[in-house]
Amino acid sequence: MKPLEIPTMDMTSKEVMRRIEISGDMLLNMGPQHPSTHGVINFLVQTDGEVMKRAIPEVGYLHRSLEKIGERCTYNGYMPYTDRVDYITAMCANQGWAMAVERLLGITVPKRAEYCRTIACELNRISSHLVSAGTMAMDIGAVTPFPYALREREYINDLLEELCGARLTYNYLRIGGVAFDLPSNFEEKLGTFLDHFEKILVEFNRLITYNEIFIKRLAHLAPIPAAMAIDYCLVGPNLRASGVQFDVRKDLPYSVYPEFQFDAPVGKGEVGTVGDSWDRFWCRCEEMRQSCRILRQCLAQIPKEGGTMAKVPRKIKLPEGTEAYSRIESARGDMQYYVIAGAGENAYRVKIRTGSFTAMGIIDVLSRGLMIADLVALIASLDVVAPEIDR
């Protein structure tokens, strides 16, 4: 039996229903407000009973023309909008935009500002992975880990609120540096949090990561071989879980990351198949541990003196046609900004490449033959965020 053709704009509702009747399958909409999609996303699911033949992502519900807005705003004025590219890891989205414009300007960010950026981004990475791990556990039936994760995320939010005054869309980074220096006693509070959180990670792994039921639910589920992960342009933990050791912070280092010692965890098939859903979950848990390593090194190595902003023109005007490209390792992987300068105070072209958008492309292939309930686990394991998909 041939797979059901997904409806197109030129097909009437009667034609769609006729195809369904002929095949004997059902065409279901999972979304766009389904709780496990973690955003306004829809999946067109062709199913024969509980077994899926295909699950086609239908995106666009959250499209806000963020790239076009970047071509209408001034360079500085666009910074708050980058918070909305990935609102879970807004600090990293800020940094990608700042680095692209800094390369256009040819300016060097002060060392202390680079450390402040790294502290903010790594704290934000931990908070993002906590949301991912907690919601993934809850999506497949384990409710208790989610409050545990949220509790730790609140500690991070308290630190970031003290740093910049916000708890979600931070707008902390600036072109040329950061908006504020570290507040008094911030380093001591961060050290206290790390002492606490590293113990909590051990507890979290005992609670859910190595839970027997959790392992049986995720091991061998939707494995992605290394070659397939590369072919579908997966990035971040989704790529590394398949055994591909690529991390922008290590392989294309930026900021002060070359000064740190840390590992980029890769999937090993410890309880199942390399690149399965459990490996993707485990990689994010282990990355939180590595972020703690980086933060401790930040506290030990941050320059005690120095400014937090370079000299940046109040009105940024660049030679028309000049271009710059930046890549940073966000919580969802390789985030890229491509900017072409316009004739005035704004860019001619802004292009943003995100990890969630590339991850959506592989769901159709992975979903074939899975149970409908497994689609929930698959989506959660890829850690997609709706604003990153649509922009």
Q: How far apart are CA 338 and CA 322, in angstroms?
A: 11
State both tokens at 285: 């848990």
Average pLDDT over residues 355-362: 88
Amino acid at 13: S
pLDDT tens column, 138-150:
988 889 999 999 9
Q: For the chain, how many helices (H) and strands (E)?
A: 16, 8
pLDDT-derived band at 199 (thresholds 50, 70, 90) equals very high
CA 73 distance to own-chain centroid: 25
CA 151 distance to own-chain centroid: 20
pLDDT tens column, 36-89:
777 788 888 888 888 988 888 888 888 888 999 999 999 999 999 999 898 899
pLDDT at 14 over 70: no
Beta-carbon contacts of residue 1 (< 8 Å; ≥ 6 apart):
23, 24
Percent above pLDDT 90 for the chain: 68
Least confident of 28-32, 133-137, 170-174: 28-32
Residue 206 or residue 54, greater confidence: 206
Angle at 382 between CA 91 and CA 38, to 5 degrees: 70
| pLDDT on residue 15 | 60
In this prediction the pTM is: 0.92
Q: How far apart are CA 381 and CA 390, in angstroms?
A: 19
Q: How many CB atoms lie within 10 A of CB 50?
A: 10
CB 134 within 8 A of CB 150: yes
Q: Which residues of 120-151 are buried (b: 16+ CB within 10 A; e: fewer)?
A: bbbbbbbbbbbbbbbbbbbbbebeebbebbee
pLDDT at 7 over 60: no
Q: How many CB atoms lie within 10 A of CB 181?
A: 16
Q: For 257, how many CA atoms within 13 A lie in the half-sphere containing its CB?
A: 20
Cα-based distances in Å from 162 to 25, 32, 183, 186, 306:
54, 36, 7, 8, 21
Cα-based distances in Å from 187 to 116, 153, 193, 194, 261:
11, 18, 10, 11, 20
Q: Domains for the chain: give ranges and CATH numbers.
A: 1-61+357-391 (no CATH), 80-313 (1.10.645.10)
